[in-house]
Amino acid sequence: MKIRRICDALGAEVSGIDLAQDLPDDVVAELRRHWLEYLVLVFPGQQLSPAAYFAFAKRMGEPMDYPFLKGLDGFPQITVVAKHENETVNFGGIWHSDTTYLPEPPSATMLLAREVPPSGGDTLFANQYAAYDALAPEFKVAIDGRRAVSTSAKAETKRSREDRIREAGKDDAAEAYTATHPVVRTHPESGRKSLFINRAHTLCFEGESERESAPLLSFLFEHQIQQDFVAPVQWKPGTLVLWDNRCVLHNPLNDYQGYRRVMHRITLKGDKPV
């Protein structure tokens, strides 16, 4: 197994490993150490059936359901993230961390590329440890200890789900999900602080209206995706990416109109942010 750092901000490519194999415990432990260090791990050239993909996910954590979409037959925790040739809006095409509107958001997300366009369709990732560390002291004072409301119902984010819900929506999904979390989260494994808000789901500070919250939130949303914190990942069929949803934002670019992009996603159970 070889590790190659992608850039200073975050991310590493992992080669020389076949995730379809039953990996020894020490190799899984090593992968987890690298994941906690680099935040985003990229595994190119993985030939994984749904069963093999799900088996690897279980070695890294506990797969969980996505509230809005049905999964694959036999693997309900594997959801299809797709944009078809005739569609103009891509699923989740906005800076976010996954499902922060749940009381216990995922600890990790895994995405496996099944079909990609000839060009475009990269995903950007942003290091939220670095975003918090780079804040001026007065801004850290202004947000430490504060909480913010996350919702699944923000208009721009809802639009990005509409095509997939028409195709594979759950009958028992709620109209909207809402949860309140710390603005600054302490990572349960590293002990480091990170920003834990995102443009897609964070609505307002607890105890404030959207209008009252907007100036500071708008500043933070722009701050947390500065170029120094961001790294791109290019996809090929068989590329698998694992990232830490507790301290990383991501944004899939919608720059491949007229082409199809199909990914299989698994999220791993997390805990209550503190």
Instruction: Name the residue among 118, 68, 120 with its Cα closest to residue 92.
Output: 68
Domain ranges of the chain: 2-268
Q: Are 68 and 99 in contact (CB under 8 A)?
A: no
Per-residue pLDDT of the chain (274 residues; tens, 9 = 90+): 999 999 999 999 999 999 999 999 999 999 999 999 999 999 999 999 999 999 999 999 999 999 988 999 999 999 999 999 999 999 899 999 999 999 999 999 999 999 999 999 999 999 999 999 999 999 999 999 999 999 999 977 877 777 778 878 888 888 889 999 999 999 999 999 999 999 999 999 999 999 999 999 999 999 999 999 999 999 999 999 999 999 999 999 999 999 999 999 999 999 999 9
Task: Spot the catalytic one: 185, 246, 264, 265.
Answer: 265
Task: Spot the catalytic one: 181, 187, 201, 250.
Answer: 250
Task: Spot the catalytic one: 98, 185, 201, 264.
Answer: 98
Pick the CATH number of 2-268 from 3.30.930.10, 3.40.640.10, 3.60.130.10, 3.40.1780.10: 3.60.130.10
Query: Has 98 been annotated as catalytic?
Result: yes
Task: Spot the catalytic one: 96, 181, 201, 246.
Answer: 96
**DSSP-derived secondary structure letter, 203:** E
Q: How far is CA 146 from the centre of its chain?
A: 23
Query: Has 84 been annotated as catalytic?
Result: no
Query: Has 201 been annotated as catalytic?
Result: no
Q: Are strands 123-127 and 248-252 parallel, antiparallel or unpaired?
A: antiparallel
